[in-house]
Structure 1
């Protein structure tokens, strides 16, 4: 059981993390305001670390609040997983429909992520909705990692890996998209329609 969970952690979180990192690069390339705020946050962490610690620390990761809120909002608007299957353990009803025991049910992530009764202005990209929001997000409505007993065990691994990668990318390199109008498709997971080629170069420090 322990080995099964470890393998699931490494393989499943590898796919979802690579998707999220691609979405982060795609979003920062297209949205100068988001990119600038992430850059300022990450450069601030880098400057505070100079002469003290060469590598990122756990405390540094905890300071990347805006960067992670951008990632959270990307996972809300473009969920890494389309949905998840569950098996009905007993006869039940939902929304006026009878679901017999043993049937598989597909919960579609977008059904709650884009519900205006759960998220204000759901079509608007707004990372601040995850910043101590006065409107609490109800359980099982924001589910990029699923929820309950079967919630993805790689959620924290994804957070740390994503923030580490973004930190090193924006503090050391500059880049532009080869295809600025590239859109995200599904195959079935989110995938840049043209492979997300970028032109990258070392960052010039002033």
Structure 2
């Protein structure tokens, strides 16, 4: 980091060149550079938040589509219809096409409800408060777990049933801070839209180009601490002959 700092100071490197340069160029409220441990913590967090969570969701999608023929059929039909309606010779996804992948994203949403990539986290009470009869003093760390609301029958009817349609015009609005795969409030994940586009793009190309099956059909999901296929999700892949 010291070499990078020198390059920034000399003007031979821009603070917009990459994430590390941007962090090194930041100044706190006293106009002092950030400490190395703060930069390191944030850099590692960015790796985890932008890679591990998205990779987890895409793995869960492949796992689910391998095990549920009905869901796979609907996802495949939606993706093939998008290709069928494509005009001209352009073979790349467009933003408008990604917006049409409503059912595929509903599958992802339901997976994140039942097997949330972010299972829990802590928040600090900013003032003395009371929740359901419990006093929580200012400064205390409050632990929340997504399953407390994700699997609550009063919020999601039949919570143990995999039902992507529950996110498609639900009979009653999902209460705020009840569906939390990307957190909530001021700390809501800034990468939620990136994760959606990344996941939909990957699944689109995967179902378009390949057929696959699990090597271990009985494979379950464990946590390490993120949800992870217990056997590493080995699959047998066969390319499709007709990619149109």
Same fold (TM over 0.5): yes
In 2, Cα distance between the equivalents of 1:37 and 1:10?
Answer: 33
**TM-score scaled by structure 1?**
0.94
Whether the aligned pair in 2 keeps the contact of 1:88 and 1:101 (CA below 8 Å) is: yes
SS at match of 2:85: helix
Q: Note if 1:57 corresponds to 2:94.
A: yes
Give 2:182's aligned residue: 145
The answer as to 2:116 corresponding to 1:83 is no
User: Which of 218, 223, 227 is residue 181 of structure 1 equivalent to?
Assistant: 218
Partner of 1:101: 138
1:158 aligns with 2:195: yes
Tell me by how many angstroms 1:93 deviates. Answer: 1.5
Q: For 1:81, what is the secondary structure of its paired residue?
A: coil
Q: Distance in 1 between matches of 2:148 and 2:240?
A: 41
Which of 166, 171, 184 is residue 208 of structure 2 equivalent to? 171
C-alpha root-mean-square deviation of aligned residues, in Å?
A: 1.7
TM-score (norm 2): 0.80
Q: Could you list the per-position Cα deviations for residues 85-130 of structure 1 after superposition, in whole angstroms to 9, with x for gaps in the alignment? A: 1001111111222211111111100000000110111111000001
Please give the per-residue CA displacement for 1:119-161, whole angstroms capped at 9, x wherever unaligned. 1111110000011112111110001001111100010000000
Across the two proteins, how many residue pairs are aligned to each other? 204
DSSP-derived class of the 1:106 partner:
strand
Pair member with larger Rg: 2
Bigger Cα displacement from structure 2, 157-166 vs 81-90: 81-90
Over 3 Å counting, the alpha-carbon distance change for 1:205 and 1:50 in structure 2 is: farther
Distance 1:11 1:91 in 2: 32
User: Residue 36 of structure 2 corresponds to which residue in structure 1?
Assistant: none
Q: Which whole-Å deviations, capped at 9, do the CAs of 1:65-102 have from their partners, x for residues lacking one?
A: 00000000000000001112100111111122221111
Q: How does 1:114-129 map to 2 (within 5 A)?
A: 114-129=151-166
Q: Distance in 2 between matches of 1:180 and 1:37?
A: 20
Segment drifting more, 39-48 vs 176-185: 39-48
Conservation of the 8 A alpha-carbon contact between 1:88 and 1:102: yes
Three-state SS of the structure 2 residue aligned to 1:185 is strand
Contact 1:9 1:154 in 2 (8 A): no
1:53 deviates by 1.9
Secondary structure of 1:49 counterpart: coil
Aligned to 1:113: 150
The yes-or-no answer on 1:136 pairing with 2:173 is yes
